Amino acid sequence: MTLALWKDLSPFDQPLKKPSAASPHILVIGSRVTGLTSAWVLLDRGYRVTVLSCEWVNSKHRLTSQTAGALWEYPPAGAKYVTETEDDLVLIEDVLRARFQADAIVNFPGLGAKVLAGDRSVYPIRGGLVRVVNDGIHFPKVDAALTISADVSVDEIIFLVPRNDNILLIGGIAELHRGSLDLTLDSPIIKRMRKRCEAFSPGLENARLDPEYPFAQGLRPFRRQNVRVERELP
């Protein structure tokens, strides 16, 4: 599905179609890229939306979505944060709908689908990115994404993507069934990743690490049967 700015999504504080008190209320579970994008689309189509998540964007413990090529923006209105842990979503669906006065629940739990959706086929893929200063001083400034798809060669992924005006992301790796975030800049797989990218784009060997955030790693949910999209009725 292709989303068009101004047509499907509004960058302003007010949604394209302002919801009323009678508008259906949707409860979105999950605050990563898919969950927040879906919540954004629902808001601009006139729905009232509440987002539930086990963790939120922050600078100390960065989420996987923060390290990818995406833009984050705080909602214009205030929000109340509540921390809770629950089990199977089906068992508490009626309670959640009543508590938030929601007409429907949209579930984007990511790896949490093992518990919330009872989907044992979900497993993590671990990735890592090196962040370097992209100011054109120590190597030619990269102003466009340079990538080689993992479909070409699983073991030889090239991922060079400008994150903003002064940061370049160098990647990447995709480690199946690795659920721990214990990689470092000195990990052998990260060193091999850097050498691949440096061979692909000469000059990167002179790059300076981002002093504030030199290395990013995270987990992405995956399942062999591809994305699970289905409607579940009581």
The CATH number covering residue 165 comes to 3.30.9.10
Q: What is the pLDDT of residue 225?
A: 82
* CA dist., res. 127 & res. 220, Å (int): 8
Predicted TM-score (pTM) of the model is: 0.65
**Number of independent structural domains in the chain:** 2
Same domain, yes or no, for 33 and 102? yes
Q: Residue with structure tokens 């993507």?
A: 161
Q: What is the pLDDT of residue 71?
A: 39
129 pLDDT band, cuts 50/70/90, is: very high
Q: What is the pLDDT of residue 156?
A: 63
Among 209, 63, 75, which residue's Cα sits nearest to residue 131?
209
Same domain, yes or no, for 127 and 216? yes
pLDDT of 154 higher than 60: no
Same domain, yes or no, for 116 and 41? yes
Q: What is the pLDDT of residue 169?
A: 94
What's the mean per-residue pLDDT of the chain? 82
Q: What is the pLDDT of residue 75?
A: 53
Q: What is the pLDDT of residue 177?
A: 92
Same domain, yes or no, for 154 and 196? yes
Which of 90, 120, 150 terminates a domain? The answer is 120
- Which tokens sit at 130? 């090196």
* CA dist., res. 53 & res. 85, Å (int): 10
Mean pLDDT confidence for 192-208: 94
Q: What is the pLDDT of residue 53?
A: 85
pLDDT of 233 higher than 70: no
Same domain, yes or no, for 133 and 65? no
pLDDT of 160 higher than 90: yes
Condensed to tens digits (0 to 9), the pLDDT of residues 219-231 reads 999 988 878 877 7
Please, are residues 62 and 216 in contact by the beta-carbon 8 Å criterion?
Answer: yes
- CA 1 to chain CA mean position, Å: 17
Same domain, yes or no, for 208 and 140? yes
pLDDT of 73 higher than 60: no
Please, are residues 61 and 139 in contact by the beta-carbon 8 Å criterion?
Answer: no
Structural domain that includes position 39: 25-120
* CA dist., res. 106 & res. 38, Å (int): 9
Condensed to tens digits (0 to 9), the pLDDT of residues 80-123 reads 666 665 666 667 788 888 888 899 888 888 888 888 888 889 99
pLDDT of 124 higher than 50: yes
13 within some domain:
no
138 within some domain:
yes
- 209: exposed, middle or buried (Cβ count in 10 Å: 0-12, 13-18, 19+): middle
Same domain, yes or no, for 103 and 47? yes
pLDDT of 214 higher than 90: yes
At 176, the amino acid letter reads L
pLDDT of 215 higher than 60: yes
* CA dist., res. 205 & res. 208, Å (int): 9
Please, are residues 63 and 55 in contact by the beta-carbon 8 Å criterion?
Answer: yes
Q: What is the pLDDT of residue 24?
A: 93
Three-state DSSP at 190 gives helix
Q: What is the pLDDT of residue 113?
A: 85
Condensed to tens digits (0 to 9), the pLDDT of residues 186-196 reads 999 999 999 99
pLDDT of 138 higher than 90: yes
Three-state DSSP at 198 gives helix
